[in-house]
Structure 1
Amino acid sequence: MKKHLILVLVLALFSLTAAQAQEFVFGAKAGLNVASLSGDIEGDSKSRLSFHLGGVGEFKFSDAFGFQAELLYSAIGAKFEESESFDGESFSAEATTRLSYVSIPLLGRFHINESFSLEAGPQVSILISAEEEYSETITFDGETESFSETVDISEGINTLDVGFAAGATFTLPQGIFFSARYVLGLTSIDSFGDADVKNNVLQLSAGYQFN
């Protein structure tokens, strides 16, 4: 129900914006995600490197202002490490949380000149899949044992995630563009309500405008 409502609202916003726009520009982009989780986190949390890709559309109201919407597949999450050792005995564990979303950034765009622009606005993401890969190694009495498994954790992750995105884009005359953006999570992804955990991601992208 929430997914359908979000899509209806986005389509309505597109229709209203298109009616006021002087020009529409569209393109495609892809790039690197440097993702992390913040909040009630146990263990040593590290960034997870992954990717994003999708389409970009901008409604231009003037040479200086526009509204940009995107539809992206974005893989984010985080990595965790923990280790202990004492008197010849050791324990180490690693976990990788993999979260896949369809993300819809809705951004106001300010064109400083023909090449450089700044963007900011909300981002709504819909969860596609969530899993955690866990592995551990234990050394005891000179013997080492290892264990690993991958678990579906989608039941513990909220379907909708809301964040705030801000970044900058540099566009070449040929239509090729490069952008850097940071998305700060505003809502907790924990569906059980036991912890306050938020997504954060730095995105570095390259793309092409078709017109």
Structure 2
Amino acid sequence: MRKSILIAFVLFIGITAQAQIKVSPGIRGGVNFSTLTNIDDNSTKTDFYLGGLVNIKFNKYFSLQPELSYSRQGDKVEYFDNGSYRDINYELNYITVGAVAKFNFNGSGFHVLAGPSLDFKIDDNYINSNPEGFDLALVGGVGYTLPNGLTFEARIKQGFIDIYGYDGVYDDNNNGNYDEVILNQVLQIGISYTFKGR
């Protein structure tokens, strides 16, 4: 067992020593299609995200990409008011701090990505409630990077913090309201551009 660990450690050191790490700053932006789970009569709200990134490329197969973004999320709810239906957009706007690991297939431009995101709420337009001030999310997606540094990506972002605090709340019959947990869900379609790194 110790021999296996030692061999794995030596291989890791050898790979790291030969890696030519390349750091490239960049910008990213695109369209958010966001909604909230377990809300009746709601639908997807369309908005945007915008931010910066630093792509740390370890080799042609793997890179790590820290990101800082402004993301406009929430959902759209249809109300019947004075004999007609009208839509109301509920805003949940976040500063998101995250990092995705990107795995390139055969060293090509096509990649899959995954990583965590910590979201800090900076604004909302809720009147009768006060949504949580932060969210923890997991991001996954696919993309393609052109040789000039332009990248096209599609991501799914799933929140894990109940934004209304229902998680673990019990009713009069001592039943947990876990079916009422309200979570952020976002589909992001966008582009990014990385400048030539060192």
TM-score bucket of the superposed structures, by smaller chain: 0.7 to 0.9
- In the alignment, what sits opposite 2:92? 99
Q: Matched residues in 2 for 1:63 and 1:176: separation?
A: 16
In the alignment, which of 107, 112, 136 is matched to residue 162 of structure 1? 136
Q: How far is the alpha carbon of 1:61 from its aligned partner?
A: 2.2
In the alignment, which of 168, 171, 176 is matched to residue 145 of structure 2? 171
User: In structure 1, the residue corresponding to 2:48 is in which secondary structure?
Assistant: strand
- In the alignment, what sits opposite 1:54? 51
- In the alignment, what sits opposite 2:34? 35
- Alignment-mate amino acid for residue 65 of structure 1: F
Q: What TM-score comes out, normalization by structure 2 length?
A: 0.76
Of 183-192 and 90-99, more deviation after overlay is shown by 90-99
Q: How far is the alpha carbon of 1:25 from its aligned partner?
A: 1.8
* Structure 2 residue 65 is the aligned partner of structure 1 residue 71: no
In the alignment, which of 125, 148, 153 is matched to residue 119 of structure 2? 125
Q: Matched residues in 2 for 1:59 and 1:93: separation?
A: 46
- In the alignment, what sits opposite 1:188? 162
Q: What TM-score comes out, normalization by structure 1 length?
A: 0.71
Question: Percent identity over the alignment?
Answer: 28
User: In structure 2, the residue corresponding to 1:158 is in which secondary structure?
Assistant: coil
Q: How many residues align?
A: 166
Q: How far is the alpha carbon of 1:29 from its aligned partner?
A: 1.0
The C-alpha deviation readout for 1:106-127, integer Å capped at 9, x for no partner, is: 2111111331111001111000
Q: Matched residues in 1 for 2:87 and 2:110: separation?
A: 41
In the alignment, which of 168, 185, 192 is matched to residue 207 of structure 1? 192
Q: How far is the alpha carbon of 1:58 from its aligned partner?
A: 1.8
- RMSD value over aligned CA atoms? 2.2
Q: How far is the alpha carbon of 1:21 from its aligned partner?
A: 7.7
- Alignment-mate amino acid for residue 202 of structure 1: L
Q: Matched residues in 2 for 1:125 and 1:201: separation?
A: 13
> Counterparts of 1:72-87 in structure 2 under 5 Å?
72-83=69-80
Q: How far is the alpha carbon of 1:92 from its aligned partner?
A: 3.7
Q: Matched residues in 2 for 1:35 and 1:62: separation?
A: 34
Change in 2 beyond 3 A, CA 1:192/1:131 = farther
The C-alpha deviation readout for 1:110-149, integer Å capped at 9, x for no partner, is: 11133111100111100000104xxxxxxxxxxxxxxxxx
User: In structure 1, the residue corresponding to 2:60 is in which secondary structure?
Assistant: coil
Contact 2:55 2:194 in 1 (8 A): no
Moved over 6 A (4+): none
What are the ranges of 5 or more consecutive residues in structure 1 without an aligned counterpart?
1-19, 133-150
Q: Matched residues in 1 for 2:124 and 2:54: separation?
A: 28
User: In structure 2, the residue corresponding to 1:170 is in which secondary structure?
Assistant: strand
User: In structure 2, the residue corresponding to 1:62 is in which secondary structure?
Assistant: coil
